[in-house]
Amino acid sequence: MTPHNSAKAGDYADSVLLPGDPLRAKWIAENFFEDAVEVNAVRNCLGYTGTYKGQRVSVQATGMGQPSLSIYVHELINFYGVKNLIRVGTCGGLSEKVAVRDLVIAQGATTDSTLVKDAFGPYNFAPIADFDLLRDCVARAEVAGLNYHVGNMVSSDIFYHDDGLKSYEAVIRHGALGVEMEAAALYTLAARFGVKALAVCTMTDSLITGAALSAADRQSSLRDMVTLALDVAINA
């Protein structure tokens, strides 16, 4: 057990899905898992383990932002032996070619976070996805006929930028597809501890066009994303 997690050794599967929202973790467990068991409820950051297509798998909420995710990911790897971590979240769109409901599969993650910057001295570390997970996810998305994009995600520690979209001008000019708040820290920790990680996000609100998903469309899009991520997780 840790200060943030009441699970016991062996309670988590080797592969864990990582939504930010605790209620989304609960929704995944209730709608996709068989024989789901709650393994963590400390601070209401819910975690569950069950089976999907006969394979053991887990889901653990990480809260909002890279500092919160870093706590849970560090502990999942170092205290619970998790080997494969797949973030399932939402992102804002930074490209006109990414429509609402589309998936952004993060090949890399640019960040403004000192969690990454301060760890590497003079080097600008480039946090990237595990290639095996990335390749499998893209192949499965293709077979399923999902609208997806592979490229650079932006992981920002700031949700409300004073200068709005202007703050993203440089990364937009260099082809960034979406913005969220967790992927770069996930990829950095996975690299540090020698495990596999991938971030897959549904684009729900375009910062470029202003288009946004309705509540009903958001739920159905998340279902497609979670199904894809689970299929990757149980084959990792």
205 catalytic residue (yes or no): yes
User: DSSP letter at 7?
Assistant: P
Cα–Cα distance measured from residue 188 to residue 192, given in angstroms and rounded to the nearest whole number: 6
CB 45 within 8 A of CB 19: no
Set 112, 205, 224, 231: catalytic member: 205
Residue 204 CA, distance from chain mean position: 14
**DSSP states of 59-100:** EE---SSHHHHHHHHHHHHHTT---EEEEEEEEEE-STT--T
- What is the identity of the amino acid at 229? A
Say how many Å lie between the first and final Cα of the chain, rounded: 26
Cα–Cα distance measured from residue 7 to residue 1, given in angstroms and rounded to the nearest whole number: 6
Active site residues: 205
